[in-house]
Amino acid sequence: MKRLTGKTALVSGASRGIGAAIARRLAAEGASVAVTARTLHAADSAIDGSLDETVSAIRAGGGNAQAFAADLADAGQDRHALIATVAEQLGPVDILVNNAAANFYQPLEAVSPKRFAIAVEVNLHAPLALTQAVVPGMRARGAGWILNISSVTAALPRHPPSAGTSGPLLYVATKAALERATAALAEELHPMGIAVNALSPQAGVRTAAAEQYYQLPDEAVEPVETMAAAALVLCSGDPASATGRITRSLEFLVETGAPVHTLEGDALLDGWQPEDIPASRLASPEASTDESSLRAAAD
């Protein structure tokens, strides 16, 4: 039996990129997957990817998925109602993956109040509000898994500041806050059997949104499947022990020895098994090569 059979997962920002990959990988392991984002249909966005396409890919592989269009930048949106709707149509949420993200590369003096509010809403308040909505059900069932997708840019720099670097302030600040909230929630929810972890890409991931902003050299890239593989482990481990982790994809895979499969789960991904990943790949990448730091259109 597949490891997530009987479980229901909700993945935000799942119209494309990392969110869509995680949704497909969880579905391949038997979970019924609810996917949410702004882009329901392909015609709704200039960037490739939509919830319809993610659902179609999951169903084509024999999985179960349903789309729930929602704008997590809308502070007035009822997140409890979203969770209730998912529960009515797919089952109570056992796994929550907070992947949706917003970023605006501007110096602080140029950031408008609207953009400030959107960054905080999408990157911090929405994940916490969705967590608040799923916890009662998880507590009643005695188990649950919450995974927050973060960024390596949330970590403090290991070198002196570089002159002239500006723009990612709101993104890195909100992601750092999300990581600290992850650690606090892991402690709070541990007695309830609920795991709370945070996962970042180790390097850049070539997604449709990311490629609009920059081109990465091969040595600074990891495939989306490595993020999906690490997410699967963190969404299926024993909540008693596999919780409170703030980790990065490749180092986590090397540490755990977890295999990296295709998103369909039917084959191993050549060249990206834990034993294939050299130590040089585990070095901290610069902010400019972190795909997640440029996901202004992540959903």
Domains contained in the chain, CATH given? 8-294 (3.40.50.720)
Q: What is the pLDDT of residues 114-169, one digit of tens each?
A: 999 999 999 999 999 999 999 999 999 999 999 999 998 898 877 666 655 566 88
Q: Please, are residues 6 and 64 in contact by the beta-carbon 8 Å criterion? A: no
Distance between CA 95 and CA 79 in Å, rounded? 15
Contacts of 214 (CB under 8 A, 6+ apart): 288, 294
Instruction: Report yes or no: 175 and 148 within 8 Å, Cβ to Cβ.
Output: no
More confident residue, 258 or 218: 258
Indicate whether this model's pTM tops 0.85.
yes
Reading the block at residue 195, the tokens are 């795991």
171 a catalytic residue: yes
| CB-based contacts of 240, cutoff 8 Å, min separation 6 | 190, 193
Catalytic residue among 105, 171, 213, 214: 171
